[in-house]
Amino acid sequence: MEITSPDFEKIIMWQELESIIREEHKKIKNLEMEIEEVKSDISAKKEEFKEIEEERKKLSVERKNLENDLYQCEESIKKHQIELNQVKKNEEFKALLIEIENLKSKKDDIENKILEIIESIEKLDKSIFETKKKINEEELEANKIVSDKESEIKKTKIYLEELISRENTIKNEIKDESVKKRIETLFKNKNGLAAVKINIKRNETLKSSPEEYFCSGCNVKLTSSDASSVKKFNTFIICQNCSRLVYYRG
Ligand SMILES: [Zn+2]
């Protein structure tokens, strides 16, 4: 089947605009996805940083608790030392001495634990300082990337508006309603590809006519009658396999 139309060139132009419009839409979608990725990456890093800060808080509380224990321990030692002067019986005196020794060794343990925690806190503070600095730098960089991509989206949207208005103008200029409807249906069903150029391959084994014509939409070879019709002036043939409009341009 063939369609000869005075709007031949306009139909091809319409297809070209439709393809660019779809590409630009894709570009915007990709940019939006990239922006989301950059944003979620930086917020994941911030979440991780919060965990380090939580850890730091825990250590501070632990330190405070141990310092309380230490104070209690020292008070008990003092109290028992006073009691040493007051007891009369030898057994009681000995028992107090043992109690004081135990408390002193407990005090040593607590002091060691406090030292360990202080060391951990120092390490953590260093890491907090460095991580914070790194995140701040990365956030600055991320903000710049996001704002660049956003301005690219803005520009692309303006360009898209212009393309769409050009497409509408061309569409309105095409008077053949049936061809218009056919193309719109193909755009919808064939992923935006309604009118395609013929694909010519040379096959030297075919001595008499070495050129073979294919629909570049579906890659199926055209029948010999379609192959001869396609070269007629202002004429599309309808691909028998994919129904797209196939055209020839010398
Ligand atoms: Zn086809």
- 39 burial (CB, 10 Å; 0-12 / 13-18 / 19+) is middle
C-alpha to C-alpha distance for 67 and 47, rounded to whole angstroms: 31
> Are 159 and 192 within one domain?
no
Query: In this structure, what are the phi and psi dihedrals at residue 215, rounded to the nearest 5 degrees?
Result: -75, 125
Q: Are 8 and 104 in contact (CB under 8 A)?
A: no
Ligand 1 centre to CA of 182 (Å) is 15
CA of 214 to the centre of ligand 1 (A): 8
Give 168 Cα–ligand 1 centroid separation in angstroms. Answer: 26
Say if 4 falls within a structural domain. Answer: no
Q: Determine the longest span between alpha carbons in the chain, in angstroms.
A: 132
Backbone φ and ψ for 116, nearest 5 degrees, come out as -60, -45
> Is 10 part of any domain?
no
Domain limits for position 56: 17-173
Whether residues 158 and 65 fall in one domain:
yes
Full DSSP string of 56-87: HHHHHHHHHHHHHHHHHHHHHHHHHHHHHTT-
Cα(202) to ligand 1 centroid in Å equals 19
CA distance 103 to 96: 10
Residues 107 and 210 both lie in one domain: no
Q: How far is the CA of 246 from the centre of ligand 1 (A)?
A: 8
For every one of its 250 residues, what pLDDT tens digit does the chain have, with 9 covering 90 and above?
899 999 999 999 999 999 999 999 999 999 999 999 999 999 999 999 999 999 999 999 999 999 999 999 999 999 999 999 999 899 999 999 999 999 999 999 999 999 999 999 999 999 999 999 999 999 999 999 999 999 999 999 999 999 999 999 999 999 999 999 999 999 999 999 999 999 999 888 877 777 899 999 999 999 989 988 999 999 999 999 999 999 998 7
Q: Is residue 9 part of a domain?
A: no
Structurally, how many domains does the chain consist of? 2
- Pair 36, 69 in one domain: yes
R_g of the chain, CA atoms, integer Å: 41
In a domain, 5, yes or no: no
